[in-house]
Amino acid sequence: MKKFIIGTIVTVLLLTIAIGVQQGLLFAKPLPYDDEQKGLDTQITIHLSHVVAENTPKGQAASKFAELVEEKTNGEVKVHVYPNSSLFNDENEFQALQDGQVEMIIPTFSKMTSYIPNWQVLDLPYLFNTDDEVQEVLTGSIGEQLLKELKPFHIKGLGFWHNGFKHLTSVDHPIHTFEDLKGLRVRTMPSIALEKQFEVVGATPIPTPFSEVFTDLESNTIDAQENTASNIYSKGFYKVQKHMTLTKHGILGYTVLMNEKFWKSLPLKIQKQIMEAMKETTDWQFEQAVEINKEDLQKLEQQNNFEIYTMSNKERQRFKEKLAPVYDFYRNNVQNNDVLSEIEKIVSP
């Protein structure tokens, strides 16, 4: 009996060892060294959230920035880009940035105007004539001055990027003159200057998050909207609108923002490398944005059931004059420094 018990114990022990060895549970070798794991414990990750498609001026610039940061920091910093409102949308991204739920976002400056009313200056209609003027303002001392206004929000402003000039699309009838806007429900970004712009011509502005514009156009809860060719093409707005009018009545651009606490936690060397990547991306993206909008406008021209009309210079001039009260509103209610007059020194009248 004793022999039987000892035999059973030895058999069970041997079996356990055999199974353990076979499953690699005993005497397991360390995992082969994986290059990808180098520095994993010291790697810094930046989650970057934005609301547009990847093949747009902002989408491409975000990818380029991610690439350059990784290259310049020798892989020490990884930037994960989340496009198409897949992480946060227009309505919650700034809060998420302030709370540190995301390290970077790239909202339009229009969407920042509820925090910094003075930035409405960039939304003033017919302020800029060319992409070069926009670049000079946004990347020069005026841009720097505007970024300083982020200070009370504990946000680090890395700079400004451009998309392009906005145009109008509509569903029922084409917009040949500003009178054609009367009575339309027009989607805008949330910015009082943009809302005023449509109120002045008798339209009803409807501030809507970008991620909802397509469905609102499709369900006819809005009749028209303003945007760049690249956003109109990449988001398929041409499928739910019948007319586009090239008005160039305003610009659409971005501010590149980082959570300040996160920024301050970065070693100085990394901060410098990030700023270098930012500068390189910015120079590249201003040219790229113009190209993408040009190409996307050509693609829009090829769509069936989508008519493109160019507003005449005479009508643009009338539109500009009609919109003068938006400037009065800005001067009387918003302006708290001389940024508008600084811009007016750069742009041609």
Interface contacts to ligand LMR, rule CB under 6 A = 51-52, 58, 108, 163, 189, 210, 227, 231, 252
Q: Is the dihedral of CA 301, 164, 183, 186 positive or negative?
A: positive
CA dist., res. 276 & res. 106, Å (int): 18
- Comparing CB distances to ligand LMR, the nearer of 73 and 113 is 113
CB of 269 to ligand LMR, least distance (A): 32
- Comparing CB distances to ligand LMR, the nearer of 167 and 243 is 167
- Comparing CB distances to ligand LMR, the nearer of 58 and 72 is 58
CA dist., res. 65 & res. 281, Å (int): 6
CB of 167 to ligand LMR, least distance (A): 12
Q: Are strands 185-188 and 155-170 parallel, antiparallel or unpaired?
A: unpaired
- Comparing CB distances to ligand LMR, the nearer of 231 and 282 is 231
| 281, 68 Cβ separation under 8 angstroms | yes
Residue with token string 């959570």? 259
CB of 106 to ligand LMR, least distance (A): 7
Using Cβ positions, the residue closest to ligand LMR within the complex turns out to be 210
| 134, 253 Cβ separation under 8 angstroms | yes
Q: Which two three-digit tokens encode residue 172?
A: 């029922």
CA dist., res. 184 & res. 321, Å (int): 20
CB of 277 to ligand LMR, least distance (A): 21
- Comparing CB distances to ligand LMR, the nearer of 156 and 187 is 187
- Comparing CB distances to ligand LMR, the nearer of 113 and 139 is 113
Question: Which distant-in-sequence residues (6+ apart) come within 8 Å of 93 by Cβ?
Answer: 49, 51, 102, 105, 107
CB of 25 to ligand LMR, least distance (A): 52
CB of 109 to ligand LMR, least distance (A): 9
Count CB atoms within 10 A of the CB of residue 101.
Answer: 15
Q: Which two three-digit tokens encode residue 212?
A: 């909802």
CB of 32 to ligand LMR, least distance (A): 44
Residue with token string 């920091």? 73
- Comparing CB distances to ligand LMR, the nearer of 189 and 240 is 189
CB of 225 to ligand LMR, least distance (A): 8
- Comparing CB distances to ligand LMR, the nearer of 73 and 225 is 225
- Comparing CB distances to ligand LMR, the nearer of 51 and 150 is 51
CA dist., res. 234 & res. 156, Å (int): 29
**Which residues in 60-70 are b (16+ Cβ under 10 Å) and which e?**
bbbbbbbebbb
Give the number of residues written for the chain.
349
**Which residues in 263-294 are b (16+ Cβ under 10 Å) and which e?**
beebeeebeebbeebbeebbeebbebbbebbe
Euclidean distance between the first and the last CA atom of the chain, given in angstroms as a whole number: 109
CB of 74 to ligand LMR, least distance (A): 31
